[in-house]
Amino acid sequence: MKLNTITTGFSRLDKDQKIDLVSSKVADPEFFSNTLHASWHRDPATQKMIDEFSENTLGNYFFPYGVAPNFLINGKMYMVPLVIEESSVVAAASGAAKFWAERGGFHSEVIGIEKIGQVHFTWNGGFNLLNRFFPEIRKQMIANTERITSNMMKRGGGILDIKLVDMTDKIPDYYQVKATFDTKDSMGANFINSCLEEFADTLRDFAAGCVDFSPFSLQVIMSILSNYTPDCLVRTWVEGEIKEGHHYDDLYTDREFVTRFETGVRIAQVDRYRATTHNKGIYNGIDAVVLATGNDFRAVEACGHAYASRNGDYSSLSKVEISGNTFRFSLEVPMAVGTVGGLTHLHPLAKLSLDLLGNPDASELMMIASAAGLANNYSAVKSLVTKGIQKGHMKMHLLNILNVYNATDEEKKHAVEFFKHEKVSHSAVNGFLQSIRGS
């Protein structure tokens, strides 16, 4: 079969047939197939559940599951699980966590937990007529969603508000139903989308049955939650004294260090090229926790980057305040995560992560993930404004490079010792291996 022919009926094949078909497209089908099989979970029931998370699953793609100890957050000590493939991230989180644990730890507060959904529709009868009937439509929307919301309401959540939004200055005849929700400890995507589709049906039915509406046309375009949740927000910070002996760094005095650090963060506030990398460093920590707990890292990141642009230009999510002898480094970040529902208790390792964190509620998880983000941001900016990032990073990356050159355990031991005092690079590692292999 040629690579560019259209494949039909693939989803109807069973797993082995899919693997055979995909393997037939590569140079070494047997190796391809064996590698996929080797990636399967040893418990067939668990593998079946993982297969069913997605579609056309052939195997599992491994990422390291690690832990950063010593996260003291609001006086409580956590070991934070992190799923991340990039070297240095876990080390950076652990380093900052320990440093700040010895200086009061992370402080964190959840500012809001509101989620948002929209029904987008067009209506050519003008705002006033629609607005006159909206209280009645709204009442019907709430009544018609009762069977969806009753359980959530028992848990203290549900629909918070339903508003009509006039968007006709952007697109002629375009309006929104904009609703806010409290989904308690669930991320709530399915709950919100189900409510929204019911709102849409209610709106359509109302328009069809209302005589005042009959000369006009109402069309629902789409109903979907918004991943932009600026009021589902957590603020996390560390605070330290600026006085010799606090020892932020051994290259600079404490005052010099905090001044350089502050300038480093301010650059990320005014320059979007730097801001993107700066915030990426924050999401190194946040995503790793979000993934480890079975949450949706795409939603969390998309929201964070939109929030970083809320004032018209893309900017740093973290900031530094120096006041007298106090250095405060803080992060304000929106984060829609859950500790019930979704994969949180289905994925075996997500369940383990929540267990390790003491089965937090969603608010506590927001604080933990944001602390991981701030910790990574602190370590990254600290390295950047002091010794530079590559020294530490390449030391952590050394094992990856050694693996590329198929180094044995013995060779790795020698290399780790040798590169304690040498600059790590691909060519330096290759040269070192050749020299010891030659001898």
Q: Between residues 354 and 380, which has the closer beta carbon with respect to ligand MEV?
A: 380
The runs of H, that is alpha helices, within 54-157 are 89-101, 127-144, 146-154
CB count in 10 Å sphere of residue 333: 25
Contact 298, 282 (CB under 8 A): no
Contact 73, 109 (CB under 8 A): no
- Under the criterion CB under 6 A, does residue 278 sit at the interface with ligand MEV? yes
Interface residue with ligand MEV among 87, 227, 284, 339 (CB under 6 A) is 284
Q: What angle do CA 336, 297, 48 make, to 5 degrees?
A: 110
Q: Between residues 223 and 316, which has the closer beta carbon with respect to ligand MEV?
A: 316
Site map for ligand MEV, 18-57, x if CB under 6 A? ----------------------------------------
Task: Estimate the crossing angle of helix 409-418 against helix 389-404, to 10 degrees.
Answer: 160
**Smallest separation, CB 295 to ligand MEV (Å):** 20
- Under the criterion CB under 6 A, does residue 86 sit at the interface with ligand MEV? yes
**Smallest separation, CB 314 to ligand MEV (Å):** 14
- Catalytic pick among 280, 319, 345, 395: 280
SS3 at position 126: coil
Residue sitting closest to ligand MEV (CB): 281
Interface residue with ligand MEV among 129, 346, 389, 399 (CB under 6 A) is 389
- Under the criterion CB under 6 A, does residue 108 sit at the interface with ligand MEV? no
**Smallest separation, CB 376 to ligand MEV (Å):** 8
Give dist(CA 306, CA 286) in Å, integer. Answer: 16
What are residue 110's phi and psi, to 5 degrees? -90, 125
**Smallest separation, CB 20 to ligand MEV (Å):** 38
Amino acid at the residue 426: H
Overall size of the chain counted in residues: 439
Give how many residues touch ligand MEV by CB under 6 A. 10
CB count in 10 Å sphere of residue 286: 30
CA atoms within 13 A on the CB side of 37: 11
SS3 at position 369: helix
- Under the criterion CB under 6 A, does residue 219 sit at the interface with ligand MEV? no
Q: How far is CA 140 from CA 134, 144, 357, 429, in A?
A: 10, 6, 42, 69
Q: From 137-145, 272-280, 286-294, 297-305, give the range in contact with ligand MEV by CB under 6 A.
A: 272-280
Structure tokens that stand for 423 in this block: 């600059």
- Catalytic pick among 249, 296, 301, 364: 296
Q: Is 393 a catalytic site residue?
A: yes
Q: Between residues 85 and 205, which has the closer beta carbon with respect to ligand MEV?
A: 85
Burial 183-195 (b: 16+ CB within 10 A, else e): bbbbbbbebbebb
Structure tokens that stand for 410 in this block: 């013995």
Interface residue with ligand MEV among 41, 98, 280, 412 (CB under 6 A) is 280
- Under the criterion CB under 6 A, does residue 395 sit at the interface with ligand MEV? no
Q: From 73-81, 186-194, 289-297, 381-389, give the range in contact with ligand MEV by CB under 6 A.
A: 381-389
Neighbour-count burial of 173, counting CB atoms closer than 10 A to its CB (0-12 exposed, 13-18 middle, 19+ buried): middle
Contact 242, 326 (CB under 8 A): yes
How is residue 340 annotated by DSSP?
A: B
**Smallest separation, CB 66 to ligand MEV (Å):** 15
Site map for ligand MEV, 227-266, x if CB under 6 A? ----------------------------------------
Q: How far is CA 176 from CA 136, 165, 173, 249, 265, in A?
A: 16, 5, 10, 52, 38
How is residue 87 annotated by DSSP?
A: T
Q: Between residues 23 and 316, which has the closer beta carbon with respect to ligand MEV?
A: 316
- Under the criterion CB under 6 A, does residue 267 sit at the interface with ligand MEV? no
Q: Which of residues 114-173 bind ligand MEV (CB under 6 A)?
A: none
**Smallest separation, CB 309 to ligand MEV (Å):** 18
Amino acid at the residue 164: L
Site map for ligand MEV, 325-364, x if CB under 6 A? ----------------------------------------
Q: Is 280 a catalytic site residue?
A: yes
Q: From 203-211, 335-343, 376-384, 416-424, give the range in contact with ligand MEV by CB under 6 A.
A: 376-384
- Catalytic pick among 20, 51, 86, 201: 86
Structure tokens that stand for 135 in this block: 């209280």
**Smallest separation, CB 277 to ligand MEV (Å):** 4
Q: Which residues bind ligand MEV (CB under 6 A)?
A: 86, 277-278, 280-281, 284, 380-381, 384, 389
Known catalytic residues are 86, 280, 296, 393
